[in-house]
Structure 1
């Protein structure tokens, strides 16, 4: 039986996510030598027949030096200004490094709004796929120049998980400055290394920290992203960038996150639950929550106690329980105005055209079975 590490070692389509700390020197400037070493390892993997997509942080850090900024900016306008300069510089450094092998790179800048729209998400998928087909390496980053605080992925770890699922990757490799997942800060005495994560139970006692000086995502963000990708059916290897040769070799380093095939979400349900923009809210009674979380049951008007937002038929809506707990998301079949007249009614009390499900089971995704 093939182990998960062997599966990752032989994965044909891989997403590799690199944090800012993996790309910069001690002063925070991009380090071409570091990037060359990363590219060398990636090229070795490509030579073995794999297709590689890179999710690269570092745009804001790359713009700090040219703009004379001594510290990472805090206000949104300054971050966007730094990113607008840094994205150019970052792409140039990646391009020069891959050019040593006669390979072209393509820059793909995404925002949460791009992933939140099904059509735009498909366009991004097609762009990445075409770049791969013609032998270029897609370099994906969040478009910090235009993303607002309300419309951000939050960190490139989450972005990498969404991209990996979007393109049906065979593995996601998360690289940072920590060699594996530990129960607590590995610098602390007695910190226990965790070699594999099969379910959320393996993370019960884990204490994960936040980002470092130059980055935005810490171990907590990486664990969250790894679990997210695993739920979408993509196995994950988490380790240090210093281990990149082994990570892209036999994968006998770091921590691996297993998928759970019996709980894997299809592509649409994953998108609806974790990437789509929700246009409104449906509030359910306890009976409807129980029915929805069991799975395979459509949501009917009788179980809905309230609605919020000006949504339209076909929009994605957030589904909440009696105590505002998040239950899931789904594609609503009615406009908000019409649905408001249907709340709490049994099918026989509704007009003929209102008797179909408010959210059909095929277009309803719940959080109950997350890893």
Structure 2
């Protein structure tokens, strides 16, 4: 039994997009093309934000010019962050996080591409960066509307991880299994919540991550540990009290949705609670995945092996975890130090003999 994550666009979340003929049509096209539900959700929120800005500024989105896009960028960099006092750090230093601003601009740019294809306008006011004189070898460099910052994911120390596990100890058996599997198999939040009973092979301790539930539509099979296997067996006995039907693996325990598959938002709230009790606000639903891939890099796994487990299409993405582990630098440092040490010993032997 397969789980359908998004059967239709939830237009009530983007009322301004829904009211705009072209904006609604563009988002519907993205949905019909089979984009991941989270991508459609992100595009909808981004375009809603832009149309709201245009409404406040008394602009018609279809006829906006470059100076209006520049004003929107400034608006993004100066507006209050929705997380308020809970913000730990911002990539941009002010306004929204850099990644959020990049997403906003990407959605707006794609929307204007659509307007060009529809013959509504001739140019895209957002553009795709421009060349300006620089000091590189070629004398030019590409600049986008918003500088892009690439930060490495936060990885908990051993002390942090112990605190997280201690905070999880008070959670339900379901949540314990979910945390264990998210680390063991390096699962994304969406992949974890979409698991069904038929996706698990307890005999070989394997999990099938179906293509329709992955970020890049690549199916993969990943293992989980013996310790997690014990937790899983115990959870199955408990799950029968919630439902005896096959289908979603992790079921809601609430009175309102008892026995129904757990939602992504519910799991996010569980993790937020764990982070609060552990007093580690950096801990998110993606942290176990990042930690697992980093640990594998530290253990000497090959880059291609890590990419296969993670379900990465690009090796550049996997390379992040090699950097996080410090493995490449550590190996080079050790080799260099061994070489220098041998040279110094040889010189001592030759000169001071």
Q: What's the TM-score, normalizing by structure 1?
A: 0.25
Bigger share in strand: 1
Give the helix-richer structure, 1 or 2: 2
Larger radius of gyration: 2
Higher relative CO (Cα under 8 Å, sequence separation at least 6) belongs to 1
TM-score scaled by length of structure 2: 0.26
